[in-house]
Homo-oligomer: A and B are copies of this chain.
Amino acid sequence: MSVPSPGTTAPGLRERKKQRTRDALIRVALELFTTQGYERTTVDEIVEAVEVSQRTFFRYFGSKEEVAFAVQHMVEGLFVSALGRRPSAEGPFDALRHSVLSAWDHAGEAIADVVPVELYLRNFQMIESTPALLAIHLRRSAETEETIARIIADREGLDVDEDPRPRIAVAAFSGVMRVTGQMWGRGTDQSLEGIRALTERYLDHLGPALAPHWRTGAADDAP
């Protein structure tokens, strides 16, 4: 980040200023959102703190919601690119499973480049507990699902529009991921390790949960 790397042109002053403004808007917004709440924070408050006009804010972010997902967007990218690197011998479900876990393993550093990890985690909880943001979050997840389904289909040499299994498998998998995020948000272990552990645990339960009868196996403890 400090030494200009060969191959990529060093960004000029203009580009650096833009990046700085964008990062400042994200940091200030998340700080305000997590302290006083999303709804109680106005765009005017954010731009006043960063000293830009409201119009500038809306040129960087299409909406007030969008800024709340800026970091989240990056983390999702980690998962998708991890999936792209899984060995093709792996079955679809194992590939998905290993990709999420690997993404959580590397998320910490990636996040810290933009905002403090702790701020990211608080923001994640805020998204889960703010109706307007939760709705957007779920739609974004649905869009990501489509991307993932196509990757899975490719791995298996299938066409997503011919064979429903890729979309179905991904939908079931994502459903479990969503519950994981939800339960993590309600729990008390506010750490990346916590969410990783919960992910692993919940995925292990998917098979048994779909069995014809549950009356055999033992349960598990609370999140």
Contacts and interface: CB of A to CB of B under 8 A. Distances in A.
Interface in A98-155: 131, 134-136, 138-139, 142
A172 to B, nearest CB: 4
A139 B138 CA distance: 7
A86 interface: no
Interface string A202-223: 1001111111111100011111
Q: State the main secondary structure of chain A at its contact with B.
A: helix
A168 B179 contact: yes
B91 A162 contact: no
Contact of A212 (B94, B168, B214, B219): B94
A172 B219 contact: no
24 contacts: A91-B213, A134-B139, A134-B142, A135-B138, A138-B142, A158-B219, A161-B222, A161-B223, A162-B220, A162-B221, A163-B220, A164-B179, A164-B223, A165-B208, A167-B183, A168-B175, A168-B205, A169-B209, A171-B176, A171-B179, A172-B176, A172-B209, A173-B175, A175-B175
